[in-house]
Amino acid sequence: MAIIGMTKLDAVNACLMAIGEYRVTVLDPTGTSIQSDAERVVDESTRYFCAMGWPCNTRRSVAATPSGASNTIVVTTNIPTGTIRVRSAGPSQHRNLVLRGDTIFDSDNGTTNFGSAAVVYFDIAELLDFEDLEPMLKEEVALHASQRFARRRSGSQLTDAYISQELTQVDELNTRNGTFLSQALFAPQTKQQG
């Protein structure tokens, strides 16, 4: 399968370049090197963005039936394993349902027991691998990871300002998913008159 847009290695190298380090040619996911740290930050940013729900990682109106003696909905049993966030949908949209561990929690009633085997509907945000994100979202994730990595490693305000500007520009290009997002993540700041 061809990778369209950035690779994870490109994102790791963006993190390294943000702190003045040399590029690398291979990933090192289990090591303790600076590039391994950069890869972990790319993974953190990927999870962060996937949890927001984008067109490339959202399934709409997924039906789940509570099961077992306790009438629960468990991620690995009733809904896709890669689920990172849920929001009630369709006939269930009046409910306030969230993930709690690997189980769906009804926060209105304070329980994971749905009381019956009646179908519950969700919009689901799935955790994707970096390479499976849409190309412009990869750019945004890589910039976010670069900024996060640079803040942790060097704390340069100048680097932070440059990356913030780039991140705002890329964020404006990305398509929002109305299910989980209502506005741009990095809204441009307005000047106050005084």
Question: pLDDT by residue (tens digit) across 144-172?
Answer: 999 999 988 887 777 777 777 777 777 77
The predicted-structure confidence for 131-142, as pLDDT tens digits, reads as follows 999 999 999 999
CA distance 4 to 73: 35
pLDDT category at 69 given cuts 50, 70, 90 is confident
Judged against a pLDDT cut of 50, whether residue 190 lies above it is answered with: no
Average pLDDT of 63-79? 86
**Phi, psi (degrees; rounded to nearest 5) at 28:** -140, 70
Residue pair 118/124 in contact (Cβ under 8 Å)? The answer is: no
What pLDDT sits at residue 27?
93
CA torsion through residues 8, 10, 15, 16, sign: positive
What pLDDT sits at residue 171?
73
Largest CA distance in the chain: 64
Average pLDDT of 174-193? 48
Nearest to 146 by CA among 49, 12, 40, 6: 12
What pLDDT sits at residue 194?
43
Strands 97-100 and 120-126: unpaired
What pLDDT sits at residue 79?
81
Q: Which amino acid is at 156?
A: S
Whole-number percent of the chain with pLDDT over 90: 46
pLDDT category at 181 given cuts 50, 70, 90 is low
Average pLDDT of 100-128? 91
Average pLDDT of 10-14? 97
**Phi, psi (degrees; rounded to nearest 5) at 124:** -120, 130
Q: Residue 139: how many CB atoms within 10 A of its CB? A: 23
CA distance 47 to 35: 19
